Amino acid sequence: MRLFCVAMLLGVISPPAYAFEPGSLGDAYRDFGYVQGCTDDGELPGCTIIAGGSQFVAPYSGQTPADVFAALKAMPPLAYLEFRGDILAMYDSYADIAVGAVAEADAGADPYGVTIRAMQGTWVSVDDPQSVVQVVGLIWTDVYGGEAVSQSVMSFADACSDGSEGGGAVMELFSIPPQDMPAMCYSDLYTDKARMELSYMGRGNTLAYERAK
* The pLDDT of residue 7: 39
Encode pLDDT of 152-186 as tens digits: 999 999 999 989 888 899 999 999 988 887 889 99
- The mean pLDDT value for 123-129 works out to 97
* pTM recorded for the entire structure: 0.89
> What confidence category does residue 2 fall into, taking pLDDT thresholds of 50, 70 and 90?
low
Which is more confident, 185 or 17?
Answer: 185
Please determine, for residue 12, whether its predicted confidence score (pLDDT) is greater than 90.
no
Give the chain's mean pLDDT: 90
Encode pLDDT of 43-95 as tens digits: 778 999 999 999 999 999 889 999 999 999 999 999 999 999 999 999 988 99
Distance CA 201, CA 178 (A): 19
> What confidence category does residue 138 fall into, taking pLDDT thresholds of 50, 70 and 90?
very high
- The mean pLDDT value for 188-193 works out to 96
At the fourth CATH level, the homologous superfamily of domain 27-109 is Nucleic acid-binding proteins (2.40.50.140)
> What confidence category does residue 147 fall into, taking pLDDT thresholds of 50, 70 and 90?
very high
List the domain boundaries for the chain: 27-109, 113-211
* The pLDDT of residue 19: 73
Distance CA 47, CA 69 (A): 7
* The pLDDT of residue 90: 95
Distance CA 15, CA 167 (A): 34
The two beta strands, 54-59 and 95-104, are parallel
> What confidence category does residue 18 fall into, taking pLDDT thresholds of 50, 70 and 90?
low
Residues contacting residue 36 through CB under 8 Å, at least 6 positions apart:
48, 49, 50, 55, 77, 137, 138, 139
**Cβ(22)–Cβ(56) below 8 Å:** no
Architecture per CATH, domain 113-211, reads as Beta Barrel (2.40)
In percent, how much of the chain has pLDDT > 70?
92
Distance CA 119, CA 60 (A): 30
Asked if 27-109 and 113-211 have one fold, the answer is no
* The pLDDT of residue 4: 47
- The mean pLDDT value for 11-15 works out to 44
